[in-house]
Each structure stands twice: as C-alpha cells, then as structure tokens.
A = this chain, B = another copy of it.
Amino acid sequence: MDVYTLGEAFGVVTSGRIRHEHEARLDVTGAELAVAVGLARLGHEVSWLGKVGEDELGVRILSALRGEGVDVSDARVAGGLPTGMILKEARTGQAARLTYYPTAVRLAQGNVPVDRVTQARFLHVSGVTAALNARDAMNAAVRAARTAGVAVSVAVDYDERLWPDLKEAEEILGALARAADVLFVRQCELDLVKPALNGDREVIVNRGTRGASVRVNGVRYDASGVTAPVVDPTGSRPAFVAGYLSALLESLHPADRLRRGALLAAFAASGPSDWQSLPTRDELPLLETDG
C-alpha cells in the first residue's frame, strides 16, 4: 500500500446566497477523502479509514471512495447515528463560508488497525482531524506509523472555527507537526507550528495560486501556481497534498513535486466538487498545457 490516511467525511450542501437561494448542490467532502481520491486517480494504492453514519450520506461516502478504487475495508459505520453535514455558502468572487453540523459519530482509538497502518509507505493526516472527533484515533495511527518507520505526512489545516482556544491549537498542532516527516503548511500557519519548521523534515509552504516552496535537505525549491479558471477554491489544499505525495512516491525532483501539487490544486478549484474534479493520470496535460 502506498498511502494510509484517516479522517472525517461529511455531506456538504453548497448554495449561493443562503438567504435567497432555492437551488443547492449535494455532495460529500472531506480533506483526507480528497487526498485519497487524488492519489487513487493517479494510480497509487490508498486506504481510507473513517467512520460514517448509518444513513444514505454514509453510504455515499463509502460508495464514492470504493468506486474510485480506494480501499475502505477498515472504514466503520456508526450504528443509528447520522453522518455530519456542512452547509457551504459559495458566493461568486468571495471566499466560501462553511457551517459545520457535526454529529456524535466518533472514530475511536480502537478503530485503528495498527497492522494495516504499518504496511503503508506513508501515513497522511490533517489538522482538521485533530480538531474534531477523531483526535485519539489519529494520534494512535501516528504513533504506530512512527514506531514502524512509516513516513508521516501532516497537513496543518488550521481552521479557527474548530479551535476556540488558540493555545490548545498551538499545542496539539505543534506536536502533530513535529511528528511529521513531510509537513504541509500555509504562510499564515507558520507561527503556529514554528518549532516544527526546524529539523530535517520536508516542509512545504503552500501559497495557493501564488505558488509554493519546499525545503529539502536544506535546499529551497519554488514553483509558481497553475493559472486556470476557478469555480470553488475550497478543495485545492487537499488536492495539492495528493499531487505532492504522488510525485514524492515516484521520487520525482522536489520542483516537480511542487508542480504536480499545484496542478492538482488547479484541477480541484476548476469545478464545484473538491474531489470530483481531480484528474486521472492521462488528464494531467489538460491543465499543464494551459499553465
């Protein structure tokens, strides 16, 4: 297995101005779900661990992943509970506004199959998961990976609505970042995980359409963003992670890792869904030639 990832997934309802709109779009979403689909579409072997409600949204999450060839044999269904929801207001030209409707569905530490995690080349987790119901499960997976020598990939993904206490965010996300071999961080998160920026880990700073940089073995590499029409930029960060990890799995040059990350980010932003717009390998040139 190339990558093992775990996290939460949600139903998502996207609409224009919520005060007036009757039309909405129903989909499923999740940072690690998007990373898993992105990697699977490029031909990598991926497992996704998560817990969904015992309802049609839960079925939709698992069907989508299974349909894309992601291994969901570890995923759990929470009997009698509904899957969480996100309401997303996506007004043209303005950043989307999200409201979370979490439920009691909770991925527990005991749900993590340690032997499966240790068979992967990479474990990928996100700071969003650390803020939600699956923190203990995530930490268990990270510990298992580190013990077994599985490389740990972490996306900081700080979301202020999910961390009422900034101190706690610094503490938890800081510890998570220090456990990473590969660390994805935004400019605005640099302070939050400052202690993790030193050392020999691979730190990728993602500046969205303004480009990205990475420090590998003390050398810094840069890549510009890929210009393409933007429909919804919400899902471009997990897409970047998928692109970067894909290139890393293929031992491409650091600049090419950044470039594939930026390419997948542009694909994700080009459509209304954060995972449906992700490219297959033969589609990669569709945006590359525009770049």
Contact = CB atoms under 8 A, between A and B. Distances in A.
A62 B101 CA distance: 21
Contact of A93 (B21, B101, B287): B287
A16 interface: yes
Interface residues of A, number: 52
Q: How many copies altogether?
A: 6
A270 B56 contact: no
Interface in A26-53: 26-27
Interface stretch (A84-92, A137-145, A209-217): A84-92
A18 interface: yes
A239 interface: no
Interface in A77-111: 82, 85, 87, 89, 91-95, 99, 101, 103
Interface in A251-291: 266, 270-271, 273, 276-277, 280, 286-287, 290
Contact of A276 (B11, B20, B95, B101): B20
Interface of A: 11, 13, 15-27, 55-57, 59-60, 62-64, 66-69, 82, 85, 87, 89, 91-95, 99, 101, 103, 228-229, 231, 266, 270-271, 273, 276-277, 280, 286-287, 290
